[in-house]
Structure 1
Amino acid sequence: MLNIDKLIIGFDNALRTLMVPAQTLRAIPGKSLPENELTDGEKKKSCALMRVNHVGEICAQALYQGQALTAQNQEVQNALTQAAREETEHLAWTERRIAELGGRKSLLNPVWYGGSFAIGLVAGMLGDKWNLGFLAETEHQVEAHLAEHLQRLPYQDVKSRAIVAQMRVDEACHATMAISHGGIELPLPVKLAMKMSSKIMTHTAYWV
């Protein structure tokens, strides 16, 4: 059951995620790599793909925060909160890379956040096993999505590629964490629905 304190914390987290530049404790992957020259087309493509990745991190923040609010077990809440902190670093990395490339973030970030937060709340209410199962499946799909981006990013854009590669490693760790805490495998129809909604989000965020 949600109390007023948790709702206030949730609202504060939303404002911070959407309005305040994210911070990172770890060094940005690829920071020491050279900024290779990109054609206008390559730069545009890198910007669009990193914008999609930034939206994915907005959604991850919202999902984790929503799930943590309704998780029933304190240990699970702590694990979700820690994962959210690590996702904040991904948010910082993609945000800064977009700026370096001269791009912009998605205009629909508040929409992505609100929808993902609602999904996280519902997932948490279903119980910790389902909550963690949803988290694990989300991370598996994100990991596959990042692997695809490594194929699509311009080869010479080594800075963006370094960021995406490290994000992929972290997402795999989050999936393992969710399973180790008791997450169950989701039914196939749920997995397919998640993939469909993800495709809609990524396609839209690529352009908007």
Structure 2
Amino acid sequence: MSPLDQLITGFDKALRVVGGVSTMSRPNPGLHATDCELSDEERRHSAGLMRVNHVGEVCAQALYDSQARFAQSHGMRAQFEQAGREEEDHLAWTAQRLSELGSQPSVLNPLWYAGAYVLGSVAARMGDRHSLGFVVETERQVEAHLVGHLDSLPPQDAKSRAIVEQMRVDEVAHGAKAQALGAADLPLPVRVAMKAMSKVMTTAAYHI
């Protein structure tokens, strides 16, 4: 595609992601889970955690889109594009669960998307190995968040738990694949900075 076509396509995708327009290629893992009664407090807590997860998927779309656009090889570009399509399932699942819980996505999604796109672009400009390293570290931190959510979600919220568990499995696979493709280890200060930024995002997204 020409640079103009890429710009238009990228802008269209950003609008769809931020606007909550997403499709799923796999059924929602929570589809057949029993929807048990939740107290108002439990429902708010589940919604807060699922909103955090939805924000994470908004960021994943921005990251993979920017990394694909600025990848240095065609093969790496295809890899990032494929990962982005797989992550789109997560975006749809978490959005659906938020609706079921009577809640809504973060109002700051445009900000999260823009920030993640910039980070992905910077990582890609550093070269494919460092870009893959960014994926490995991101997925490692996401997995840790998801494990924490499984510990924190109400035990009877089977629908949310099924979604989060499948997301965890997928994120581990994405990180392992990036590692196998030759990801470079990121410097400690970069990993610490990523963790600090993630903390800010998750704290804000839980509430708004």
Q: Same fold (TM over 0.5)?
A: yes
- The amino acid of 1:82's aligned partner reads Q
Aligned to 1:128: 128
Q: Does the 8 Å contact 1:47/1:101 carry over to 2?
A: yes
Q: Does the 8 Å contact 1:54/1:95 carry over to 2?
A: yes
User: Take 2:7 and 2:181, find their aligned partners in 1: how far apart are those partners?
Assistant: 25
Aligned to 1:137: 137
Aligned to 2:168: 168
Aligned to 2:108: 108
Aligned to 2:63: 63
Per-residue deviation, 1:33: 1.3
User: Take 2:55 and 2:124, find their aligned partners in 1: how far apart are those partners?
Assistant: 22
1:197 matches 2:191: no
1:154 matches 2:158: no
Q: Does the 8 Å contact 1:98/1:105 carry over to 2?
A: yes
Which range moved further: 115-124 or 193-202?
Answer: 115-124
Q: Does the 8 Å contact 1:29/1:162 carry over to 2?
A: yes
SS of equivalent residue, structure 1 residue 21: coil
Aligned to 1:26: 26
Aligned to 1:77: 77
TM-score norm. by structure 1 comes to 0.97
SS of equivalent residue, structure 1 residue 5: helix
List, as ranges, runs of 4+ consecutive aligned residues in structure 1 with deviation greater than 4 Å: none
Superposition RMSD in Å: 1.1
User: Take 1:118 and 1:6, find their aligned partners in 2: how far apart are those partners?
Assistant: 16
C-alpha distance after superposition, 1:84-105 (max 9, x if no partner):
0011100000000000000111
- The amino acid of 2:90's aligned partner reads H
User: Take 1:158 and 1:83, find their aligned partners in 2: how far apart are those partners?
Assistant: 26
Per-residue deviation, 1:30: 2.1
Aligned residues: 207
SS of equivalent residue, structure 1 residue 48: helix
Which range moved further: 166-175 or 13-22?
Answer: 13-22
Q: Does the 8 Å contact 2:129/2:182 carry over to 1?
A: yes
User: Take 1:91 and 1:30, find their aligned partners in 2: how far apart are those partners?
Assistant: 14
- The amino acid of 1:160's aligned partner reads S
Per-residue deviation, 1:182: 1.4
Identity %: 53
TM-score norm. by structure 2 comes to 0.97
User: Take 2:182 and 2:16, find their aligned partners in 1: how far apart are those partners?
Assistant: 30
Q: Does the 8 Å contact 1:76/1:181 carry over to 2?
A: no
* Runs of 5+ unmatched residues, structure 2: none
Q: Does the 8 Å contact 1:133/1:184 carry over to 2?
A: yes
Q: Does the 8 Å contact 1:67/1:121 carry over to 2?
A: yes
C-alpha distance after superposition, 1:48-93 (max 9, x if no partner):
0000000000000000001100000111111100100011100000
- The amino acid of 1:189's aligned partner reads P
Residue 158 and residue 143 in structure 1: after superposition, are their counterparts in 2 closer, same or farther (change >3 A)?
Answer: same
- The amino acid of 1:197's aligned partner reads M
Per-residue deviation, 1:179: 1.1
